[in-house]
Amino acid sequence: MTRKLYWEKPYEQEFDARVERIEDQKVVLNQTLFFPRGGGVACDTGKLGRVTVAETTKESGEIFHILASTPTFKVGDTVHGQIEWDRRYKLMRMHTAGHLLSSIFFSKANCRITGNQIEQEKSRMDFNLDPFDRSLIEGFVNEANRLINQDAQVKTYFMAREEVLRMPEFVKLAEAAPPSEPQLRIVEITGIDKQADGGQHVAQLKEVGQIHLLKLENKGKSNRRLYYDLS
C-alpha cells in the first residue's frame, strides 16, 4: 500500500521513494506526493527522476504514476519525485472553494451536489436546486467570498465511518455514499463545514482567493450547473 504523503504533507513539493513495481509506463511507489485523479478532482503531474508524470490514477486501491515515456529507473531504485506545484496549489484552492460553496447551498437551500469536476483552469459543480434562481445562486457565491475574507482554518482528521453516517451534514453528495473504509477522512472548514473527503485542500480559507461565477446552466428538472474560477 502506497503511503499517502499528499495527505500528510500537502504543501511539500519534492520527495524520495522506492520503486515497488513497473508495468510498461505505469509505476507504483512505496510513498508519493502525487494525488491520483478521483472523485471528480484532477490529478497531480510532475517528474519522477527525469521522466514526466503525465497522470496519476488509483486502481483497486493502488496508486499508479503514468509516465510520458519509458522509465530510466528500475524496481528497487530510489527515485526523486517533484510535483507541478502551481497546478497542485490551484487545485487545492479550487477544491476548498467547492466545499465552501456546497456547504452554503446545503445550509441555505437544502440542496446537495449531484456532480463536480475540479480542474486547474475552471471547475464546475452540479446541484439539485429548484427553482432555477440566478439571483439566489449569485447571492450564495457572494456569501462564499464574504466567508473567505473573514478567513477560517481548514483541517483534516479521521472519524469512524459509522459515526459519520449518523450525521447527514457530513455528506454533501446527493447520490454517493462515503467510501467503505472503517475510518473516513474529514475535511473541516472551522465553524463553517465538515465533509468526508479524500482530496487536497488549503490550510486557511483566505488562500482560496475570490470565487468568480463564470456560467450557470439549467440541466433539466432540478439539476443546475455552476462554473467557477478563482483570482
Which CATH number is 161's domain given? 3.30.980.10
pLDDT for the residue 50: 94
Report the C-alpha gap between 19 and 2 in whole angstroms: 10
The whole-angstrom distance between residue 210's C-alpha and the CA centroid of its chain comes to 18
User: What is the helix (H) or strand (E) element at residue 105, kind and residue range?
Assistant: helix 85-109
Residue 99 sits in the same domain as residue 150: yes
pLDDT for the residue 176: 59
pLDDT for the residue 148: 98
Q: What distances in angstroms separate CA 210 from CA 45, 97, 140, 198, 199, one per listed residue?
A: 25, 9, 13, 23, 20
Residue 122 sits in the same domain as residue 38: no
Task: Work out how many domains the chain is built from and give that number.
Answer: 2
pLDDT for the residue 178: 66
Residue 70 sits in the same domain as residue 134: no
Question: What's the CATH code of the domain at 61?
Answer: 2.40.30.130
Domain that holds residue 126: 88-230
- pTM exceeds 0.85 for this model: yes
Residue 131 sits in the same domain as residue 75: no
- List per-residue pLDDT tens for the chain, 231 residues long: 899 999 999 999 999 999 999 999 999 999 999 999 998 999 999 999 999 999 999 998 899 999 999 998 999 999 999 999 999 999 999 999 999 999 999 999 988 889 999 999 999 999 998 888 899 999 999 999 999 999 999 999 999 988 988 887 777 775 656 677 889 999 999 999 999 999 999 999 999 999 999 999 998 877 899 999 999
Residue 97 sits in the same domain as residue 188: yes
Residue 71 sits in the same domain as residue 51: yes
Of 57, 55, 27, 54, the residue nearest 39 (C-alpha) = 57
Report the C-alpha gap between 48 and 52 in whole angstroms: 6
Quote the cell numbers at residue 47.
517528474
